[in-house]
């Protein structure tokens, strides 16, 4: 077996040669999620690690501060590795350049997450044992491995399942480095860490991309095993009470935001906090059952005008949850019924209807959009029991932010998931319809006898005017049927009639955005979005060298009035006008997309660009072309809000 370096604090496994030149894809995914992804993953892990025989809340302390570089364990070794990295594509080159630019700092910003009333990791002294009972070995050294609880009920209630959330902490660091300090039930204190680089050459040897802050022991058989360091490092890295502490040095500037951290806590865990399952302290600010409303009702944190609640719904969710008695709804996936408590509030001034789908652990999964009801005036919170929680957990995407069918490989499970998500929309839509009928009653029956008489009389007069009559005996008349007129004659007659009556024809003003049916929605990630095709006159497109600029002018559309963001999808169209809606993949043609109005990089999936900013009715994108880009492609664009 190849030898693993022992003289350095950070250990990288040697490989024969470099085969993979990209950073871990999860880094970019969690970086796109920003503060909310980091906070969500670490709080969820703390709730998962709660003491099983303790009824009190999990306490989490979040601290943002500054530390001297010399006090960060082994950081000079990480720096040396970064200096040896070589990028082989635009993304890796830009990332490596960004990392190298941070190496000159001496005062380093960091964030830490320390939990209390939790179990911590077990079996640290056993190191890389491979045992399912030793959670230190699973957390510290394994990728994509999820520790399962002995109790099925406890396992179902856990927030984690995909076991990729650990990398959210690496994504928050400019150097992709994080540490974790542990104190177990016996008072043993250890420190570990990981760094996510790319495969690289160091001192003439090729190494894997992931490094571990750990000791290594060689056995007579030639095998090696990782063991953690005893925690005798700087106080920032100490954990003296039972539980786990995450420390992230070289904190990205985008994450260094106390206000956004507090909002993320309230957004994702308001149910846990209101049920006193969770208390969080951010620097000196405490978010508890008693204090959460101080932040949610503060204009500095959340807009308090309900009429402006188009993206942030936490104040509405909390009002709904605290004020409304829930009703039970049943949602089937075609094989099994699931029963949920729905806290539902109807209010005409609410501009966007959303449902907070919440796990029993108290974590919100997503702001669910009910199909064809995204702009209805309601607000709701949906919570199930253990059975419902287990199924919701199976539907979560890996970042725990959405109910999705896409991660299922089994066709049957995917079909059941699709049916459940659709039925969830259907059942809540029924509640919405009942509420609208109740709040907008009719005034009773209308006597239409007089109206019908007037219509009939007017019809006869119009008929006599338009057609000739024949006189018969005793002065009676019959309407004479004429031969069928040509379309040209009819148009001429209509024009003459209008002139004779002194009327001017009124041209109906049409919105340049045409609404699409819900089943034509290509963006499967967002159930219930309104989707519109974009008229070509609204799009300006220009290609210069290796850049493409696309401008969308929505100023003449009433459909997007008041919207400040949208998703834009691409669909290829050939020379005969035939559309191919599922054949274009953005990543195959473009290597980067910048939202010029927001000044930020856009995220995308398949053929959809996410969260494009609209300012003064204009959206503007700059796309970097790949060498393989076909410059003769023609597109139809769709916008989703």
Digit-coded pLDDT (tens) for 138-180: 999 987 544 444 444 443 444 343 346 689 999 999 999 999 9
Residue 286 binned pLDDT confidence (cut-offs 50, 70, 90): very high
Nearest to 430 by CA among 519, 309, 325, 344: 344
Q: Which two tokens stand for residue 640?
A: 């989703």
Say yes or no to pLDDT of 627 above 70.
Answer: yes
pLDDT for 634 equals 86
Which pLDDT score is estimated for 290? 98
User: Judging by DSSP bridges, how do beta strands 469-471 and 634-640 pair with one another?
Assistant: unpaired
Q: Are 316 and 307 in contact (CB under 8 A)?
A: no
Tokens found for residue 615: 């300012």
Name the percent of the chain in helix, strand, coil, to the closest 5: 30, 30, 40
Phi and psi angles of residue 27, each rounded to the nearest 5 degrees, phi first:
-60, -45
Question: Rounded to an integer, what distance in angstroms lies between the CA atom of residue 197 and that of residue 24?
Answer: 8
In tens, the pLDDT along 206-241 reads 999 999 999 998 887 778 899 999 999 999 999 999
pLDDT value at 301 more than 90: yes
Judge if pTM exceeds 0.85: no
If phi > 0 it is left, if psi is from -120 to 50 it is alpha, else beta; for residue 451 that is alpha
Residues written for the chain:
641
- Calpha distance 580→570 (Å, rounded): 10
pLDDT value at 305 more than 70: yes
* Per-residue buried b or exposed e for 221-250, using 16+ beta carbons within 10 Å of the residue's own CB: eeebbbbbbebebeebbbbeebbbbbbbbb
Q: Are 36 and 267 in contact (CB under 8 A)?
A: yes
User: Is residue 87 pLDDT above 80, yes or no?
Assistant: yes
* Selected residue with higher pLDDT from 485 and 201: 201
Output the pLDDT for position 606: 85
Please list the residues that pair with 190 across neighbouring strands.
182, 230
Question: What are the pLDDT digits (tens) for 394-445?
Answer: 998 876 788 988 888 899 999 999 999 999 999 999 999 999 999 887 555 5
State phi, psi for 601 to the nearest 5 degrees. Answer: -75, 140
Residue-averaged pLDDT of the chain: 85
CA atoms within a 13 Å half-sphere pointing along the CA-CB vector of 374: 16
The answer to whether 49 touches 115, Cβ cutoff 8 Å, is yes
What distance, in Å, lies between the first and last C-alpha atoms of the chain?
A: 55
């Amino acid at each position: 077996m190849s030898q693993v370096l022992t003289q350095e604090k950070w250990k990288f496994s040697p490989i024969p040669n470099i085969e993979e030149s990209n950073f871990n894809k999860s880094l970019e995914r969690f970086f796109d999620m920003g503060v909310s992804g980091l906070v969500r993953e670490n709080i969820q892990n703390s709730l998962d690690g709660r003491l099983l025989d303790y009824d009190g809340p999990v306490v989490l302390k979040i601290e943002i501060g500054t530390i001297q570089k010399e006090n960060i364990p082994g950081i000079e070794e990480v720096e040396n590795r970064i200096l040896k990295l070589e990028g082989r594509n635009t993304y890796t080159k830009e990332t490596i350049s960004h990392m190298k630019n941070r190496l000159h700092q001496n005062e380093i910003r960091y964030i830490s997450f320390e939990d209390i009333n939790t179990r911590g990791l077990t079996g640290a002294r056993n190191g890389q044992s491979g045992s399912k009972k030793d959670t230190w070995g699973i957390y510290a050294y394994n990728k994509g491995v999820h520790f399962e609880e002995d109790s099925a009920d406890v396992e179902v209630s856990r927030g984690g399942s995909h076991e990729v959330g650990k990398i959210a902490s690496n994504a928050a660091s400019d150097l992709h480095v994080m540490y974790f300090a542990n104190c177990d039930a016996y008072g043993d204190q250890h420190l570990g860490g990981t760094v996510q680089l790319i495969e690289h050459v160091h001192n003439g040897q090729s190494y894997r991309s992931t490094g571990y802050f750990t000791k290594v022991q060689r056995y007579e058989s030639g095998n090696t095993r990782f063991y953690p360091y005893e925690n005798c490092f700087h106080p920032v890295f100490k954990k003296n009470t039972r539980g786990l502490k995450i420390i992230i040095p070289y904190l990205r500037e985008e994450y260094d935001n106390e206000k956004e951290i507090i909002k993320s806590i309230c957004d994702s865990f308001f149910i846990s906090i209101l049920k006193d399952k969770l208390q969080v302290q951010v620097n000196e600010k405490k978010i508890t059952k008693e204090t959460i409303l101080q932040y949610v009702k503060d204009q500095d944190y959340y807009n308090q005008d309900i009429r402006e609640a188009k993206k942030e719904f936490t104040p509405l969710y909390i009002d709904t949850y605290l004020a409304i008695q829930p009703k039970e709804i049943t949602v089937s996936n075609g094989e099994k019924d699931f029963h949920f408590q729905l806290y539902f509030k109807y209010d005409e001034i609410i501009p966007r209807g959303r449902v907070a789908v919440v796990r029993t652990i108290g974590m919100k999964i997503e702001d669910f959009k009910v199909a064809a009801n995204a702009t209805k005036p309601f607000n709701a919170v949906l919570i199930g029991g253990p059975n419902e929680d287990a199924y919701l957990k199976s539907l979560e995407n890996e970042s725990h932010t959405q109910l999705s069918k896409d991660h299922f490989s089994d066709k049957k499970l995917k079909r059941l998931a699709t049916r459940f998500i659709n039925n969830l929309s259907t059942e809540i839509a029924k509640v919405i319809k009942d509420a609208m009928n109740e709040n907008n009653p009719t005034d009773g029956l209308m006597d239409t006898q007089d109206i019908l008489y007037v219509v009939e009389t007017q019809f006869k007069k119009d008929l006599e005017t338009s057609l000739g009559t024949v006189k018969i005996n005793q002065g009676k008349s019959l309407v004479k049927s004429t031969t069928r007129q040509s379309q040209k004659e009819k148009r001429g007659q209509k024009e003459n009639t209008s002139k004779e009556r002194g009327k001017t024809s009124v041209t109906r003003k049409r919105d340049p955005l045409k609404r699409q049916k819900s089943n034509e929605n290509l963006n499967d990630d967002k159930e219930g979005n309104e989707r519109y095709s974009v008229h070509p006159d609204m799009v300006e497109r220009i290609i210069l060298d290796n850049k493409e600029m696309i401008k969308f002018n929505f100023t003449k559309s009433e459909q997007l009035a008041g919207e400040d963001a949208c998703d834009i999808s691409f669909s290829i169209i050939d020379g005969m006008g035939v559309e191919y809606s599922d054949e274009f993949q953005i990543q195959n043609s473009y290597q980067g997309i910048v939202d010029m109005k927001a000044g930020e990089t856009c995220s995308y999936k398949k053929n959809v660009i996410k969260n494009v900013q609209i300012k003064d009715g204009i959206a503007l994108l700059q796309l970097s072309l790949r060498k393989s880009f076909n410059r003769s492609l023609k597109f139809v664009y769709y916008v989703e809000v």
